[in-house]
Amino acid sequence: MMSNDDGVLVHVDSVDKTFRRGTEEIRVLAGLNLTVQEGEFLALMGPSGSGKTTLLNLIGGLDRPTSGSVSVGGEAIDRMSGRRLARWRSQHVGLVFQFYNLLPVLSAERNVELPLLLTHLSKADRRKHVATALKVVGLEDRSRHFPRTLSGGEQQRVGIARAIVTDPTLLLCDEPTGDLDRKSGDEVLGLLQALNREHGKTIIMVTHDPHASARATRTVYLDKGQLSTTPIA
C-alpha cells in the first residue's frame, strides 16, 4: 500500500463518533481532521476519556465513524464491507496493546505466528517470518518460552513481534509502555523508534506519558473531540 502523492498515508476527514448509553448520546469525536505522513511516528495524547483509543480504532478499521471518512493509503476503509475490512486489517494493521494480550498456553513463537494463520503462507514460510520478527525485537533466544516465564518488557516485545510479523502498513500502539517500569518502557520505546527509523514503519501511539511522546516525531493532543498541536491546559 502506497501513500498519496503528497506523502499522506492516513487521512481522517471531518469524523464524528457518537456512542449511545441508554437514551443518552455521547459525542466522543467532533468533526475531527488528521493526516499522518508515511513513515511518521505520531504520538496521540490527551486525558482519559478524550477519545484517543476510539480514534486509533477508527484508523485501524476496528470501528466505523458515525460520519466523516477515514482513508489509509488512498483506500476509504469506512466504506468497506465487513469481510473486505477484515482482510484489509490482516494485511495492513499491526496492533500493540497495553496488557500484551498474549495467549498464556502458547509459546512466544506461537503467539507471534497467530496473525499468519489467516494467510496462505506455508508452515515453513510462517516459521521464517516468525523467526525474523523475533530477531527484530531481540528475542530469538526466547522463542519457545511461555508468557509466564517472560518479563513484562519481554512480553511486550513479543506483542510487537506479533504486530510486525505480517509487515503491516501501520503499527497502532495503545499505551504500549503503560504497564511497564521505566527501564522496560525505554527499551520498548527504543524498539519502536528503530522500527520507525530503520524499517520505515508508520506508527501511531496513544500515550499518557510525555517521556514516551518525546520519542515520536510529532505529538498531537486530543480533548473534547478535537485535536490540537499544543498540550491541553
User: What string of DSSP letters covers 135-204?
Assistant: HHTT-GGGTT--GGGS-HHHHHHHHHHHHHTT--SEEEEESTTTTS-HHHHHHHHHHHHHHHHTT--EEE
Question: pLDDT value at position 5?
Answer: 56
In terms of DSSP bridges, do strands 170-174 and 93-96 run parallel, antiparallel, or are they unpaired?
parallel
- What are the CA-CA distances from residue 110 to residues 6, 149, 188 (Å)? 39, 15, 21
Predicted confidence (pLDDT) per residue in 75-131, tens digit: 999 999 999 999 999 999 999 998 889 999 999 999 999 999 988 899 999 999 999
Give the separation between CA 133 and CA 173, rounded to whole angstroms: 17
Half-sphere exposure of 87 (CA within 13 A, CB side): 6
Q: Is 62 exposed, middle or buried (0-12, 13-18, 19+ CB in 10 A)?
A: middle
Question: pLDDT value at position 231?
Answer: 76
Question: pLDDT value at position 49?
Answer: 83
The third-level CATH classification (topology) of the domain covering 39-64+80-228 is Rossmann fold (3.40.50)
In terms of DSSP bridges, do strands 202-206 and 170-174 run parallel, antiparallel, or are they unpaired?
parallel
Question: pLDDT value at position 228?
Answer: 85
| Ranges under pLDDT 70 in the chain | 1-5, 232-233
Q: Where are the domains of the chain?
A: 39-64+80-228
Question: pLDDT value at position 4?
Answer: 62
Question: pLDDT value at position 109?
Answer: 96
In terms of DSSP bridges, do strands 67-72 and 8-21 run parallel, antiparallel, or are they unpaired?
antiparallel
Question: pLDDT value at position 1?
Answer: 57
User: Which residues are bridge partners to 29 per DSSP?
Assistant: 17
Identify the CA nearest to 174 among candidates 18, 40, 47, 55: 55
Give the separation between CA 194 and CA 202, rounded to whole angstroms: 11
